Amino acid sequence: MLGTILHVDLDAFFAAVEQRDRPELRGRPVVVGGGGGSDRRGVVSAASYEARPFGVRSAMPLRTAAALCPDAVFLPVDGAKYVAVSRQVMAILRRFTPRVEQISIDEAFLDVAGSEALFGPPDAIAASIKATIRAEIGLTASVGVAATKLVAKVASDLRKPDGLVVVPVGQEAAFLAPLPISRLWGVGEKTRVALAEFGVRTIGDLAAIPADALRRRFGEHGAQLAERARGIDPSVVEEPQDAKSISHEHTFDVDTSDREVIERTLLGLSEGVAARLRAAGLRAGTVAVKVRASDFSTHSRQRTLADPTDLADPIWRTALDLARPLLRGTRVRLLGVAASGLAEPAQMPLFDEPGAVRQRRTVAAVDEIRRRFGPRAVTRARLLEGGVPEPFERDPDRKPGARGVDPGA
């Protein structure tokens, strides 16, 4: 008997799209991240499979990637193109079932329980999805099939690229047991080190520890780990809901207390958030800022705006004002800007201020140029120094299974 949960994960997504669109890059090591070309600030967003034998990985500093693989082709992130391709892929997935939960730009969970009469058993559906994505989009995807989201996610990662792994119902614990503990959701570096005190190296080692012992050591998280080690995951595939917030984060290669770098980064993040608001036809009533220090302590503040906005300047000024008290004496590892309280804009006044009208026209023109020629076609002079990622770049601190962008798998 087979489970009906599928996890579909596009292989080396950003790099694969570039190799698809530029045949001369096929078979060559390709690294996508930052501004591409000679720009070595920022981190690797995706590395082609040809680059990986050299040790190049997602979230690695671009300078390190260039040292490991000097012959690689370095390309900038083309967020608009990747989003467009992602939408094509998600449309294919929804042909097979309406129960699709997109968890990042390049991966999604599906529940095909109601689709077997039309498309066959889950493993046949998985094979059909892979073949359709290859034929219509020109990309490969790896798919895991299981009874739970957790096991399907682990399975999809085992035989990349272009893999298909099926875990029969009842075989979840046996499937997970020999795998390294790092593959289990919720096991970060600190948890891994702590589990080593128990002699845990594999998921099977963890499953052998009584749940009570894990609960005493790790609290409720320990109880969750005990269940996950046995393949137990009660979460269900959730169809998308209306967005409650739009956010953009950036992790620095090197922790910084440089105010100019911090202000410039907040400006870049605010630009990304504002652009997403306009693309969605929304305005934000609340702005929040997040600051993660070098000791990994994280603080956030938020403020309700007098007038909802979809423009970068008021978002940035608010974020900067919120961040200042959190920055005193702090070396910063991560910055984030978020917009919430989202709503469609009210009817614009019939007789608006001339300055506001000009600003709206300018912003609309810039959005159109970026849509046609890429997100870096027009930028602020203050952001030319680089170091601020596109809104579509991967945040190196993102946990496995969390919502966000993970184009490097």
| Annotation says 344 is catalytic | no
For 338-369, give the DSSP string: EEEEEEPPPPPPSS--HHHHHHHHHHHHHHHH
Work out the number of other CB atoms within 10 angstroms of the CB of residue 222. 20
C-alpha span between 333 and 312 (Å, rounded): 23
Dihedral (Cα; 245, 251, 257, 263), 10-degree rounding: -50
Radius of gyration of the chain (CA): 22
d(C-alpha 156, C-alpha 401), whole Å: 12
The closest of 265, 267, 255, 314 to 287, measured between CA atoms, is: 314
Token pair recorded at residue 213: 């012992």
Beta-carbon contacts of residue 262 (< 8 Å; ≥ 6 apart): 256, 323, 327, 332, 335
Residues whose CB falls within 8 Å of the CB of residue 201, separated by 6 or more in sequence, listed in order: 180, 181
Name the nearest CA neighbour of 274 among 366, 188, 386: 366
Contact 359, 365 (CB under 8 A): no
Catalytic one among 101, 107, 271, 390?
A: 107
Q: Which of 16, 33, 7 is nearest to 394 (CA)?
A: 33
Report which secondary-structure segment, H or E, holds 291.
strand 283-293
Work out the number of other CB atoms within 10 angstroms of the CB of residue 396.
Answer: 19
What gap in Å lies between CA 214 and CA 394, rounded to an integer?
Answer: 32
Tell me the C-alpha distance between 401 and 399, whole Å.
6
What amino acid positions are annotated as catalytic residues?
A: 107
